[in-house]
Amino acid sequence: MEKKSFVKKITGSREALLAIILIILFAAITVVSPSFLTPKSLMDMLKNNAVTMVMALGMLCVMLIGGIDISIMSTLALSGMSIGMLLKYEHISNTFLAFVIAMAIGTACGFLVGMVISRADVPPIIATMGFMYVFRAMGYLVSNGGEWAGAAALGSFKNFATTKVLGINAVIWVIIVCYVIFFFFMKWTRTGRKIYAVGSNPSAAEVSGINVKNIKLMVYMIMGFLAGLGGALQVSIYASAMPDMQQGGEMDVIAACVIGGVSMSGGRGTVIGALLGSLVLATIAKALPLVGFDALWQNTIKGIMILVVVVVNVILQRVADRNALKGREM
């Protein structure tokens, strides 16, 4: 009986199933390429996928309220390009100030997106599609029509991505801090619970006294803030700022959340799920070149995984709803 109960708990948890899949994936790749499971290799994997991992937290919040944001990589490019040009022309030189400016620009972009969605009731996909083009164009304007800032122009800012604190890369510390903060925020704060409530049933949330419009605005500002942070990380990690950086990368962020079990219809998803989904994508991106597959296969496998996960999520949800209905009837 106990064994059956334990199995049921494992198979009923998306996060547990994903963790098992990740462990199997790690083991299989290590057999093929033993160099994969080394501290340096794993650190490089996390560092190179830091942007997606950090921004998945913002997308988690957006998807929890039943929204979507495809303008995030344009926000990232605008934020990153802005600090790149400021550093290039020596208007600023301080690394901390550069991060603050990038996050402020990202937050402002998120505010504009959130205002249009929450106040004008424009569908999120339409609003963010429009802003995707607007912010990307603004990034080109900031770059003076296509200039880019290379390693030499960035000064000491590029050193952030190579700095180690307690033996761990500074970029990885950013990932850890972000996930710890969001874990507590989503699980144990009233605001976190309000986000889940709005996604589960906006009408009921409104009746219970939650200002749904403000929650929507706040969620898109959080997404913008993390996109700005992602822009600063992108510039530091790759030691360059270009107006077309991370074009199309928003799909990876959305995929990380979907693979992690975040519902597209809102109300369901966890920080742990977003983390595991991001790690699965990071592992695929790192492992496939090691075993001889090219980028085409990475996208193919990514697409198949999304389709499989969505189907599994739908099946699991139907089973859960059926069990809940039986429980009420009994």
Residue 171 confidence (pLDDT)? 96
Residue 313 confidence (pLDDT)? 66
| Tokens read off for 228 | 């700005």
Residues facing 164 on adjacent strands: 169
Q: Report residue 164: phi and psi, to 5°.
A: -115, 140
Q: Using an 8 Å Cβ cutoff, are 34 and 292 in contact?
A: no
Residue range 137-150: mean pLDDT, rounded: 87
Count the neighbouring beta carbons within 10 Å of the beta carbon of residue 99: 22
DSSP 60-85: HHHHHTT---S-HHHHHHHHHHHHHH
Q: Report residue 240: phi and psi, to 5°.
A: -165, 150
Smallest Cα–Cα separation from 273: which of 187, 163, 194, 210? Answer: 187
How much of the chain, in percent, has pLDDT values that exceed 70?
90
Q: Using an 8 Å Cβ cutoff, are 51 and 246 in contact?
A: yes
Residue 53 confidence (pLDDT)? 96
Q: Tell me how long the chain is.
A: 330
pTM over 0.75? The answer is yes
DSSP 21-51: HHHHHHHHHHHH-GGGGSHHHHHHHHHHTHH
Q: Which helix (H) or strand (E) holds 114?
A: helix 95-119
Residue 15 confidence (pLDDT)? 82
For residue range 292-322, list pLDDT tens digits in order: 676 677 778 777 877 776 677 667 667 766 7
Residue 279 confidence (pLDDT)? 93
Residue range 119-126: mean pLDDT, rounded: 95
Q: Output 161 or 318, whichever has higher pLDDT.
A: 161
266 three-class SS: coil
Torsion of CA 4, 10, 11, 14, to 10 degrees: 160
